Amino acid sequence: MKQIFSISALALSLLSQGANAFGKSPSINKVVYGVDNRLELRHTPYSYLRNSVAGLASRSVLKESEDKELLEVLYYGDLTSYRGRTTCDDFKFREQATLPTCTGFLVEEDILVTAGHCVLNYGNKVQDKMNYQCFNARWVFGYEDNSESKDGINFPKDDVYGCSQIIDASYTTEADYAVIKLDRKTVGKQALTLSSEVSDYKAGTQIFVVGHPTGLPLKLAAGAKVVHNMHPNNFITNLDTFGGNSGSPIFNFYGEAIGILVSGETDYYFDKERECITPNKCDAVDGTCNVTMRGKASGETGTKIHLVTKALKAYKERTAAKAQ
């Protein structure tokens, strides 16, 4: 991860300017704050994060190719419509194929982190367990906007991994995170560096996020900051995120993961004047939105990364004890 330090200042400066800087224009809800800052990951200086961030797909949508070299996607969607209604013509990325339902990121060569609600039902906490969500999960690395061809969408086998067990996970009012053991060691992938700095959660800290908003190919959203830090396990941001971003890594200025994106405002709403679905926009956290669940914009919530660090340490201690 050393390359991030040499480019982070320039990269975040460019990303904070939005798309023009590059010449490119079961998830819990998220939303847009101000201008939609989402960019194609591969058009940014952080394109190498494709080897660290994965999308969650069901094993039932993937099939081995005839030559057994690839996994083919049997069916996928797009955003030309949403929940039975047509989206507006200026709906960003509306014709791109959608696939993942959540996002996750690599923290060790065979351990991945995501949101707890991506693998658990509400109110549950588990440790060293297998459940149906784990059994059904396929974590796909490198799903980008050039993944689709005339022959459909397919992935090399080294980009797709199963879940062998849930090491530690919680989906409660206090914490939303999951640490997952993959079915094998990853090939050609890069684990993220986890921050240990409490100062990362100070209000005003510059941050960015990488993930799969509403199942889209990998996107990066920058131009955001930490807004509130009043809970030991969570912090509030103004990131532009959507359902499907759940489990996305939230990064600090240095490219270290400081949190897991877990929840936010309503994604989309029906514009009665235009008679189509469009992204919900809020002017600021605690400000106004096109639609809101709480009377004012609640912000996008991140789970602090120290819960993951703690879970990894405990897992290694359990593993060492069993080996004795």
pLDDT tens for residues 28-46? 555 576 678 899 999 999 9
**Confidence band for 265, pLDDT divided at 50, 70 and 90:** confident
**Confidence band for 293, pLDDT divided at 50, 70 and 90:** confident
Radius of gyration of the chain (CA): 19
Residue 27 in any domain: the answer is no
| Residue 3: pLDDT over 60 | no
Higher pLDDT, 195 or 293: 195
Residue 228 in any domain: the answer is yes
Residue 65 in any domain: the answer is yes
**Do 221 and 239 form a contact (C-beta atoms < 8 A)?**
yes
The model's pTM is: 0.88
The tens digit of pLDDT for each residue in 84-120 reads 999 999 999 999 999 999 999 999 999 999 999 999 9
Q: Give me the pLDDT at residue 29, please.
A: 52
Count CB neighbours of 17 within 10 A: 13
Split into its structural domains, the chain has a count of: 1
Higher pLDDT, 287 or 18: 287
Quick one: which of 306, 52, 302 has its CA closest to 192?
52
The whole-angstrom separation of Cα 287 and Cα 294 is 11
Tokens 């039975």 locate to 84
The whole-angstrom separation of Cα 23 and Cα 179 is 37
Domain holding 228, by residue range, is: 32-317
**pLDDT average, residue stretch 277-299:** 87
Q: Which DSSP helix (H) or strand (E) runs through 33?
A: strand 32-33
- Range of lowest pLDDT (28-37, 68-77, 286-295): 28-37
Give, in order, the Cα–Cα distances in Å from 101 to each of 88, 114, 238. 22, 11, 21
Higher pLDDT, 32 or 236: 236
**Confidence band for 7, pLDDT divided at 50, 70 and 90:** very low
Residue 41 in any domain: the answer is yes
Residue 18 in any domain: the answer is no
| Residue 26: pLDDT over 60 | no
Count CB neighbours of 302 within 10 A: 30
Q: Give me the pLDDT at residue 150, please.
A: 46
The whole-angstrom separation of Cα 56 and Cα 70 is 17
Residue 25 in any domain: the answer is no
The whole-angstrom separation of Cα 19 and Cα 25 is 5
Which CATH number do you get for residue 280?
2.40.10.120
**Confidence band for 14, pLDDT divided at 50, 70 and 90:** very low
- Range of lowest pLDDT (189-203, 205-219, 293-307): 293-307
Residue 26 in any domain: the answer is no
The whole-angstrom separation of Cα 264 and Cα 46 is 24
| Residue 303: pLDDT over 60 | yes
The whole-angstrom separation of Cα 155 and Cα 148 is 10
| Chain centroid to CA 219 | 9
| Residue 324: pLDDT over 90 | no
| Residue 81: pLDDT over 70 | yes
Q: Give me the pLDDT at residue 28, please.
A: 56
Q: Give me the pLDDT at residue 267, please.
A: 87
What is 126-174 written as a DSSP string?
A: EEEE--HHHHHEEEEE---TT-EETTEEEEEGGGEEEEEEEEEEEESSS
**pLDDT average, residue stretch 181-195:** 98
Q: Give me the pLDDT at residue 166, please.
A: 99
The whole-angstrom separation of Cα 136 and Cα 163 is 8
The tens digit of pLDDT for each residue in 137-157 reads 999 999 998 655 546 899 999
The whole-angstrom separation of Cα 285 and Cα 239 is 10
